[in-house]
């Protein structure tokens, strides 16, 4: 199996940084943010499409999954995962519903 590459869009990178900053400020520690980011990266690199597909949106090209409370929206081009959307689903669950149904 070829090595999978995870590419973060500028918007998704900024969203992830914002989420990590929120938890750094709230917890007064960067440890939780580091663990969360590592877990997301590991999930993206090891996501197995033959066993359990991530869910699709109405767009059919955009896949998503949630890890803990973080919604990750991505597309797949070849062997690359392009992370397009990162949302803390506890902060704005209505936005996620809108994304899933209207794309």
pLDDT for the residue 1: 52
pLDDT for the residue 103: 47
pLDDT value at 12 more than 90: yes
86 torsion bin: left (phi>0), alpha (psi -120 to 50), beta (else): beta
Separation CA 75–CA 82 (nearest Å): 5
pLDDT for the residue 45: 81
Closest C-alpha among 19, 1, 9, 7 to residue 77: 7
pLDDT in tens, 21-76: 988 999 988 999 999 999 988 888 887 654 445 566 656 678 888 888 888 888 88
């Amino acid at each position: 199996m070829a090595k999978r590459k995870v590419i973060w869009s500028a918007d998704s990178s900024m969203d992830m940084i914002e989420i990590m900053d929120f938890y750094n400020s709230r917890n007064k520690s960067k440890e939780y943010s580091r663990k969360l980011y590592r877990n997301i990266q590991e999930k993206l690199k090891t996501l197995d499409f033959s066993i359990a597909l991530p869910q699709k949106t109405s767009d059919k090209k955009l896949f998503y999954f949630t890890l803990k409370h973080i919604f990750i929206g991505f597309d797949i081009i070849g062997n690359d995962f392009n992370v397009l959307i990162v949302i803390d689903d506890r902060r704005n669950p209505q936005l996620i519903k809108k994304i899933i149904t209207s794309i």
